[in-house]
Amino acid sequence: MAKRYQVIIIGGGPVGVGLAVNLGLRGISVALVERRVGLSNIPKGQNLSPRTLEHFYFWGCVDQLRAERLMPRPYPISGITAYGSLMSDYWFAPPQREIVRPYYFQDVERLPQYLSEKVLRARMETLPNVEARFGWRALSLEQDDKGVRLAISEEGGSGRETLEGDYLVGCDGARSQTREQIGIDRGGADYDQLMVLAVFRSRELHEGLKRFPGRSTYNVLRPEYKGYWQFFGRIDVGEGWFFHAPVPAGTTTDNYDFHGLIQNVAGFPFKAEFDHVGFWDLRVAVAERYQLGRVFIAGDAAHSHPPYGGFGLNNGLEDIVNLGWKLEAEIKGWGSDKLLQSYSEERHPIFRETGEDFIAGRIEWDRQFLERYNPERNRAEFERAWAERKEGISDRLMTYEPNYEGSPVIAGPPGGKTTAHGEHMYKARAGHHLAPQPLSSGKNVFEELGQGFALLAFGASDAEIGAFTDAARSLNLPLKVIRDTQSGGREAYEAKLTLVRPDQYVVWAGDNGPADAKTLLSKAVGR
Ligand SMILES: Cc1cc2nc3c(=O)[nH]c(=O)nc-3n(C[C@H](O)[C@H](O)[C@H](O)COP(=O)(O)OP(=O)(O)OC[C@H]3O[C@@H](n4cnc5c(N)ncnc54)[C@H](O)[C@@H]3O)c2cc1C
């Protein structure tokens, strides 16, 4: 007889393993199927946002993650942008995600993805209800109204099995077979441009970049590349580098001078030893929806795109944090199908806009700038515009604030829209990420939030709090009350009562209790 699990996960990349950890901590039985046994040594997915570090905090492995960092501490995570080459007179060091740091509980981090994956795999191994099958390939899946069946086979062996689950989540990357098997199409911009990803070691490049303040990445813009980046990233400080850039169609590892390319972009000669050269197509591809029946997709399976701005892994982990508690709620009987559907309704528009406005939009912004301004045509005009670019980059970072104001399970404002565009604020707003604030105990609000819903009751009355706790009891929904005064920083929420979801997004906030706490809580779980 096939073994049955509450959730089957296909793909043990960072998103799949992150979901296994998230669900494992929620007491859900999980089978994870990953065809690779070891970890890839490509140093991608390095730029981790403060929000991603919050996830690692809640998964109980943030210190382990920070301990794996290869870069010395402190060493700025932000980068240099230069015009023409890294020897050019035109360069600046734009701010990066550290400017939104005050609105999150954790600091940014930078480390190769294989090290983040190592930490996640180690955390998953501590969870007895998660069964990981490394070295097994998912073959085909079927679903009906009672569950899902997945045929798997042992890589390089004769093992064949069928797993049964209540739900299945495909975290199987950009070429997702899960997405194909359930027939979900993808849309987005295809640039018809081949890109190279090279990993190399060069101490001379490190020495040659000492003219700049210490930085982790170096992006070169040139008019002929239409807004595509020529991009160096440090793996450590001193030797390890990765590089990506557009290359002509038909380029292979054997017919192109990659050493010449990186020296040309740097603007000076240096020795380099290559460890890896690979290719990908420049394309933003977003699945049209993220669910069909009992099957979901998340991470690169749902959205893939060039690594411009570090949105991929960070958004993939947000997907599974959004989905994880909703699966728990449904499995444990306090959720609903409507709550599960809200995963796609919340996450899909966010990534569509991230792809269109922040990734494709950034390429277009750079392309237009490079067409319009050129120091050889009009030096004074170029210099003025170049100086203004820095401001533009800060604005883009500050307005990337994904929120679910239009979600059916959020008590958002009338006409609210679920969007990647917003404003970072301390105020507690329905549909937005909760900002951290200190409590009188000296702890942070985030240290008191648990795995379920939380009610922040700062200066609220017992009757107002009681209405929430009674409603939660009658709906059998986990709710933790965090009481305190409404001063000492907490006044920044501008609400005496704030209802927070298990993924740290605000459902509702107000100074007086809602008209009916039970109606509000029912809405929050789609009942
Ligand atoms: C050069 C580069 C730099 C990047 N930089 C950043 C960055 O700074 N910040 C950021 O957020 N993101 C970045 N990204 C993106 C990030 O690496 C990806 O978004 C991330 O890997 C997605 O994780 P995932 O788990 O969804 O998919 P993947 O990492 O692709 O994992 C999918 C897994 O599924 C497995 N699988 C597939 N099919 C099957 C099957 N049939 N059976 C069993 N297993 C299967 C695969 O073996 C794989 O392990 C970068 C990417 C690149 C290429």
pLDDT digits (tens, 9 = 90+) for 369-385: 999 999 999 999 999 99
pLDDT of residue 498: 98
Angle value at C-alpha 21, between 19 and 24, nearest 5 degrees = 105
Distance CA 291, CA 304 (A): 17
Strand 230-234 versus strand 217-221 pairing type:
antiparallel
Instruction: Return the exposure string of 115-144: e unless at least 16 CB atoms fall within 10 Å of the residue's CB, then b.
Output: bbbbbbbebbeebeebbbbebbbbeebebe
Find out whether 455 and 498 touch, Cβ atoms under 8 Å: yes
In the chain, how long is the greatest CA-to-CA distance? 76
The response to whether residue 313 sits with its C-beta less than 6 Å from ligand 1 reads yes
**What average pLDDT does the structure give for the chain?**
96
Count the helix, strand and coil residues of the chain and give each as a percent rounded to the nearest 5. Answer: 35, 25, 40
This prediction has a pTM of: 0.96
State residue 413's pLDDT score: 97
What percent of the chain has a predicted confidence (pLDDT) above 70? 100
How far does the centroid of ligand 1 lie from the alpha carbon of residue 173, in Å? 5
Report the pLDDT value the prediction gives residue 398, as an integer from 0 to 100: 85
Q: Is 433 in the pocket of ligand 1 (CB under 6 A)?
A: no
- Ligand 1 pocket: which of 22, 33, 35, 314 to mutate (most atoms <8 Å of CB)? 35
- Span from the CA of 299 to the centroid of ligand 1 (angstroms): 8
Whether 303 lines ligand 1, by a CB cut-off of 6 Å, is no
pLDDT at 59 (0 to 100): 98
43 phi/psi in degrees, rounded to 5: -85, 55
List of the chain residues with pLDDT < 70: 391
